[in-house]
Amino acid sequence: MSISFIIIDDEPDAHKILELYTSRMSKLSLKGNFHDPLHALKFLEENQVDLLFLDINMPGLSGLELLSALPYQPYVIFTTAHSDYAVQSFEFNVVDYLVKPIRFDRFVKAVNRLDAFVPKSNVVSVQWLSLKGLKSKIKVSSILYIESFGNYVKIYDDKTFYLAHTTMKEVEQTLPANTFLRCHKKHIVNKSKIDFFDNNVVTVKGGVKIQVGISYSQQVNSELANIKRE
């Protein structure tokens, strides 16, 4: 399970510490660093992430004001030099409240607390896919499969395809893992759109056949064990 997150803090040293700590935890996937909370708010109005590492006292917009303005509620780990906002902060989806300077063992404990907060299948139920270069968001439930295309990816639904300037890894980390499956270095499929699976070939709706890569075969066979065979 990959947990997407951003860091919002007006102090450069805080970013350095949090980047170091998060780089040691493989389940965390950094999506952005913001020193200005207003820039962070604009990003979050257009993109969903699972988790915020969020300072409270910031110029222009406090961490609590930012959360109040968001169109959805991500999980939050506060990282602040002030302990007097703790009670007020827990009006939101707060996982933990870390007071600076933050020790690494205390940081790990905070991140691991996410397991008690989130559904086991996925961190956030993603309904719309938003990627760099896409002119509009794509409804996740309509996606058939995704294909690598040089420095781009093609995202197919039952009518057309959309081109985004990003990587397969980025897409894989964004999509809900309980619904989508990487079956080849060049392909990700929507499990709910699979009609048949046999001889390491996945057939999605519309009759498109996708070969399963050797390195993905064991996982795919395990995940698709109950899919009807042709």
pLDDT tens profile 169-180: 888 877 877 788
Q: Give the tens place of pLDDT for each residue, 30-45.
A: 999 999 999 999 999 8
Range of the domain at 138: 128-223
Domain match, 110 and 134 both: no
Domain match, 91 and 166 both: no
Domain match, 112 and 142 both: no
Residue 128 CA to residue 173 CA, distance in Å, equals: 14
State the pLDDT at residue 19.
96
Q: At which of 66, 95, 116 does a domain end?
A: 116
Domain match, 8 and 110 both: yes
Residue 142 CA to residue 139 CA, distance in Å, equals: 6
Q: Helix (H, G, I), strand (E, B), or coil: what is residue 165?
A: coil
Domain match, 139 and 83 both: no
Domain match, 21 and 41 both: yes
Strands 138-139 and 145-149: unpaired
Q: Give the tens place of pLDDT for each residue, 75-95.
A: 999 999 877 765 565 667 689
Number of domains making up the chain: 2
Q: Give the tens place of pLDDT for each residue, 92-122.
A: 768 999 999 999 999 999 998 887 776 544 4
pTM value > 0.85? no
User: What is the domain-level CATH number for residue 108?
Assistant: 3.40.50.2300
Residue 200 lies in a domain: yes
Could you tell me if 177 and 120 are in contact, meaning their C-beta atoms sit under 8 angstroms apart? no
